[in-house]
Structure 1
Amino acid sequence: MTYLIIDDEPIAHDIIKGYAVLLPNMQLAKQCYDAIEALEYLRTHSVDLIFLDLNMPKLKGFDFLRTLQNGPQIIVTTAHKEHALTGYELAVVDYLLKPFSFERFLKAVHKVNQGKSTIQPGISTNSEENQVFLYSDKKYTQVNLKDILFVEAAGNYCKLVLTEDQLLIREKISDVLDLLDAKRFFQVHKSFIVAQNKIETIQGNRIQIREHQIPIGKSYKNQIKEYLKLS
């Protein structure tokens, strides 16, 4: 995924580049220090993603956005939260409030991956995008999606049960669901997400995955039947 940085502050460029280099599928196309420079570059080049600051000289970020037609996806980066509503009206992918952490940056990039997939919703089937970085035990761990059996909410945390291990992350279950491929993972209970291809049996209100029994929530029964095309 090629990306462009548009920001008049050099330190902002350094932070974004430092985060992006930790992800295997991101490639810097160009650094621009104002929107006019970016427009000139985009006349002859294309990119997948733009990290866009709002308060810049010559041409403001939102004015720049309004000049784009069928342009790349946009992640707004700014110190001014009062502009968030306008950003969403202009269909930006996400809105990063400076200073933002790597964890928050990662969530935004995952949203871009979901939006750019032409094969299916959620994370693309490209081999480089079959992994997600998750923060656990004071470090970022790369998890292969095919190793996830199910996810269980535990208070302010989620437990990922993997084929050979478990991982505890400080995330809401709704945020974890956003990171996962919607054709491979689905929610079956307010506290559980399962991998479809890991299901062994469904009996009554229980799903069997290896030695684990996962409850099915009442409000999810009809969705599960539809999803799995059960009679």
Structure 2
Amino acid sequence: MNIRCLLVDDEPLAVQLLQKHIAQLPFFEVAGVCSNAVQALEVLNHQTIDLLFLDIRMPQLSGLELLKNLHRPPRTILTTAYREYALDGFDLDVVDYLLKPVTFDRFFKSVERYLRMNNQPLTSVLSSSEPQFIYLKSGYKYFKVDLRHIVYVESRKDYIRVVTKEKVIVSKYRLSDLEKELEGKGFLRIHRSHVVNLLHVSAFSASELEVGETMLPIGESYKVMVEKALRHK
């Protein structure tokens, strides 16, 4: 089920920017756009809205006044160009407070906070609509990675190196967590530090496995499982 968002802002450029950000996230949809709080009130009375992006300074009725008048407001992220309203917003138990112009990185942090508040893991939401892909964060960006193109994954302490056919992505992630996401999708743990894509295995011996042009060690405790898995491929 999509997460339905309502955008309330009297600045067209601000609305367009939010629409652009939301369009980059699967499972999120813009259910409506309102230029003032009165229109928003009408929508909220007749539609189910999961997440409200609400400007504060608007004609007729401010965003804060709208929130105060809602009996059961949806989760709300405030957007404004004025820092002085931040404390008022948090007094109303909002998810977050975004300063305009809203960057994608800051927008994404607000979305993460919203998902945590609703006990929805970010990775499951991002990957659930397209199971042949996963999303990996590297630096300030989330990269959409085709599972078929992953050759192998290597653990480096608190980070992982995801080696694909095109590039290498370094992400702050635990290999054990990624292994759970990849379960049942053609991947095999061969070592405490390595998970391989079975599509790219070209040869193996009792102690090593070849993926692409790379030889990877097979851990002692994984040998029986690896041999069983590969011999039945």
Tell me what 2:12 maps to.
10
What does the per-residue CA deviation read over 1:52-98, in whole Å, with 9 as the maximum and x for residues that have no partner? 00001111111111122332111111101121122222111111111
What amino acid maps onto 1:209 in structure 2? S
Which AA in structure 2 matches 1:162?
Answer: V
Equivalent pairs, count: 174
Q: Which residue of 2 aligns with 1:161?
A: 161
Deviation at 1:20, TM superposition (A): 1.2
**Residue 106 of structure 2 aligns with which residue?**
104
Tell me the amino acid that sits aligned with residue 4 of structure 2: T
Question: Aligned equivalents of 1:29 and 1:102: distance in 2?
Answer: 20
Distance in 1 separating the partners of 2:154 and 2:129: 20
Q: CA deviation at 1:197?
A: 7.2
Alpha carbons of 1:79 and 1:20: their partners in 2 closer, same or farther (altered >3 Å)? same
Select the residue among 60, 63, 71 that pairs with 2:62.
60
CA contact (8 A) 1:49 1:74 kept: yes
Pairing partner for 2:81 from 79, 82, 92: 79
Structure 2 length normalisation: TM-score? 0.61
2:23 to 14, 21, 24: 21
Structure with higher Rg: it is 2
For the 8 Å contact 1:134–1:142, the answer to whether it is kept is: no
Q: Secondary structure at the match of 2:64?
A: helix
**Which consecutive residues of structure 2, in runs of 5 or more, have no partner in the other structure?**
181-191, 195-215, 218-233
CA distance in 2, matches of 1:34, 1:150: 50
Quick one: distance in 2 between partners of 1:135 and 1:161? Answer: 10
Q: TM-score, normalised by structure 1?
A: 0.62
Q: In the alignment, is the contact (CA less than 8 A) between 1:35 and 1:61 conserved in 2?
A: yes
**Equivalent-residue separation in structure 1 for 2:163 and 2:157 (angstroms):** 14
Identity %: 32
Per mean C-alpha deviation after superposition, the further-off stretch among 63-72 and 10-19 is 63-72
RMSD across aligned C-alpha pairs, in angstroms? 3.4
Question: For residues 160 and 69 of structure 1, do their structure 2 counterparts lie closer, same or farther at Cα, with a shift above 3 Å needed?
Answer: farther
Q: Matches of 2:179 and 2:6 in 1, distance apart?
A: 39
Partner of 2:137: 134
Q: Is the 8 A contact 2:17 2:102 kept in 1?
A: no
Going from structure 1 to structure 2, the CA distance change for 1:50 and 1:149 (only over 3 Å counts) comes to farther
Deviations 1:163-222 (A, max 9, x none): 7574246xxxxxx7xxxxxxxxxxxxxxx75535749xxxxxxxx43389xxxxxxxxxx
